[in-house]
Structure 1
Amino acid sequence: MKIDMRGLEAFLWVAELGTFGRAAAHLNISQTAVSHRLKKLEESLGLQLFSRSTRQVTLTPAGADLLPTGRALISDFEAQLEQIRKRHVDTAEELTLACVPTLAIHVLPPVFAKFSSKRPTARVRLFDKSITEIGDTIASGLAEFGITLLAANHWKLATEPLLKDEFVCVCPAKHPLANKAVVTWSDLEPLPLVRFTPHTANRIVIDNALGSRADRFNWFYEVQHTMTAQMLVDSGLALAILPSLATQNLPPSLKALRLTHPRVTRTIGIVRRRDEAPSDLARVFHAALKEQVERIRK
């Protein structure tokens, strides 16, 4: 059924104001036009929405039933139009991006500083979300692009790899292993460890790399965030396997060790909609991001 938005609007204002005349004045159209719109709506629905008399207009049971639904439809329609207007008018100088929290904390601050120096009047809207949510946020149009772990579930999006981020072992600075520059997974087998919760991107990368060997380790703790894992390590409760990017600003009480056999890495990159070229603001931000990536590589 085709929705007659003008007829629905006329119906709502007649119901709200009680007469065709007041509804016509509010809509800035003639009373005849209001009657015509309402008649078309009633005909399309096959229902009488008002009982009319010389003195008053009252809702029929069908009209009373339609009233809350009609209000919700109009409200949602106006909200959607406002979102479109804001994206293309009000926020012409607004950059929208999505990013996994770890990267937002450890990679983006200097990128934002460089971006702001290039576009000082531009606003930034950052959605810090999980890897799965980032794909949905971009596909829906809420964010223009995302910075995330590149994974198989991004096959509908255009991807641009930026760098490989290696997983490392984080231990207390006074731990016996802290004297080593490099440790192997075999060194960790007898020790209490922290790992990420199931279905997180980091957990999936590590599990895929270890395969059935993952069951040999003593995973005493499961956490969702890297800061929680660092807290557990700092308390002397366990060692943690964390992305190298998350260990750039470790306190003196902690130490990050290279981890090999196997060496486990994750790929960080940009994702965006395939059918949309980057905006001018996005290009400026991407350039600043790539400069920061080069500094990290060094």
Structure 2
Amino acid sequence: MNIKALQAFNAVVQEGTVSSAAKLLNLSQPAVSRLIAVLEAELRLTLFKRERQRLHLTDEGVAFDREARRILAGLQEIPRIADEIRAHRLKHLRVVTMPRAALSVMAPAMARFTKKHPSVKVSLDIRSHRDIESWINGREYDLGFGNVPIAHRAATSTPLARAALEVLMPTDHPFCKKEVITPEDLRCETLIQQFPGMLLRKQTDALFEAHEVKIEQEILTGSSQMAQHLVANGAGLTIIDRLSMLAMDDRRVTTRPLNPTRWVAFGVIRHRSDDPDPMVEALTSLLRDEIETRAAEGSIIPVGPGGERLVD
């Protein structure tokens, strides 16, 4: 990959024209145009379209821009990393969490970690399950937390918990009188769901298909956290695992078990080639502790590396 071409792409995105990008990079316009052409040829993608004398990203260009910005940001970190190596400073722990458990599990565990290890620099990112392949291939993080197992050949995962899917509802909803909720109960409700193809949506689609239930009215969102807040504001109901909604205000929302029970697993994810790391192990231990304090029979069950239950 030509780094100068990436920089030219980023400059054109920022400036909107080749001439402005050329001034920013101190290059000629033809040189910037050639770099963009080289990049498009190498990627076999059309990154820009011209409208009214300005360049605008295509859909392919928008998708590529997200990754290009991350790559360039990483390159900008190289001098700092070199300085830290020369100075023998303590390492930088890079962590990524999937959105569903970011607030309920990762946030409190990370807060405890930073208090115990104040001299360790920490970066915490939130990325979706759909981005797993890119961040594993890019070795962007030392540890990830989210749904496991991971099928990617370069990843290894360690389970920490199993959590049951439940129905989240406002505390004044009529379903609060029920002990359990069935797929049939949800047929005529407004259901807040993730976009088709997302992990949780695949699980709920399989559940409804197995019971021949068609949801008549739904609200779509790409964020499980947004789904939870939509429920809290009375927009409808959603299906979420108990572990992921622990950060919600239980004065506004509550859950009821879903029957039949469906489980999802959470754990830590690393690149298969990563060496053992004491800071990673320390954070993993705190994540496990956080889960164990939240254990609830029938809804949140801590598990060991081999899948064994850690509580009765």
TM beyond 0.5: yes
Q: Which residue in 1 is equivalent to 2:293?
A: 295
8 Å CA contact 1:102–1:246 kept in 2: the answer is yes
Q: Which residue in 2 is equivalent to 1:231?
A: 229
Q: Which residue in 2 is equivalent to 1:85?
A: 82
Q: Which runs of 5+ in 2 are unaligned?
A: 1-29, 36-71, 297-312
When the two chains are superposed, the root-mean-square deviation of aligned CA atoms in Å is 3.0
Q: 1:189–1:81: structure 2 CA closer, same or farther, 3 Å change rule?
A: closer
Structure 1 residue 149 displacement after superposition: 0.9
Query: CA offsets per residue over residues 69-111 of structure 1, 9 Å max, x none?
Result: 7xxxxxx9x8585476368557642111111122121111221
1:216 to 206, 214, 217: 214
**2:112 corresponds to which letter in structure 1?**
K
Q: How far apart, in 2, do the equivalents of 1:136 and 1:189 lie? A: 37
Q: Which residue in 2 is equivalent to 1:255?
A: 254
Structure 1 residue 204 displacement after superposition: 1.8
Query: CA offsets per residue over residues 5-49 of structure 1, 9 Å max, x none?
Result: xxxxxxxxxxxxxxxxxxxxxxxxxxxxxxxxxxxxxxxxxxxxx
The structure with the greater share of residues assigned to helix is 1
Structure 1 residue 120 displacement after superposition: 1.5
**Count, aligned residues:** 228
Q: In structure 1, the residue corresponding to 2:118 is in which secondary structure?
A: coil
8 Å CA contact 1:247–1:256 kept in 2: the answer is no
8 Å CA contact 2:166–2:241 kept in 1: the answer is yes
8 Å CA contact 2:183–2:211 kept in 1: the answer is no
Q: 1:174–1:109: structure 2 CA closer, same or farther, 3 Å change rule?
A: same
Could you tell which deviates more after superposition, 78-87 or 126-135? 78-87
Could you tell which deviates more after superposition, 139-148 or 89-98? 89-98
Structure 1 residue 152 displacement after superposition: 4.9
**1:293 corresponds to which letter in structure 2?**
I
Q: In structure 1, the residue corresponding to 2:258 is in which secondary structure?
A: strand
Query: CA offsets per residue over residues 241-261 of structure 1, 9 Å max, x none?
Result: 122123223341322111112
Structure 1 residue 125 displacement after superposition: 0.8
**Structure having the higher Rg:** 1
**Sequence identity of aligned pairs in percent?**
20
Q: In structure 1, the residue corresponding to 2:94 is in which secondary structure?
A: strand
Structure 1 residue 196 displacement after superposition: 1.0
Query: CA offsets per residue over residues 122-163 of structure 1, 9 Å max, x none?
Result: 111112101132342233122012111125543431111111
8 Å CA contact 1:98–1:127 kept in 2: the answer is yes
Q: Which residue in 1 is equivalent to 2:265?
A: 267
**1:138 corresponds to which letter in structure 2?**
I
Query: CA offsets per residue over residues 246-280 of structure 1, 9 Å max, x none?
Result: 3223341322111112x122111111111222312
**1:179 corresponds to which letter in structure 2?**
K
Residue 190 in 1 paired to residue 188 in 2?
Answer: yes
Q: In structure 2, the residue corresponding to 1:115 is in which secondary structure?
A: helix
Structure 1 residue 194 displacement after superposition: 1.3
Q: How far apart, in 2, do the equivalents of 1:289 and 1:207 lie? A: 30
Q: In structure 2, the residue corresponding to 1:266 is in which secondary structure?
A: strand
Q: How far apart, in 1, do the equivalents of 2:200 and 2:83 lie? A: 35
**1:208 corresponds to which letter in structure 2?**
A
Q: TM-score, normalised by structure 1?
A: 0.67
8 Å CA contact 1:118–1:284 kept in 2: the answer is no
**1:167 corresponds to which letter in structure 2?**
L
1:277 to 275, 278, 287: 275
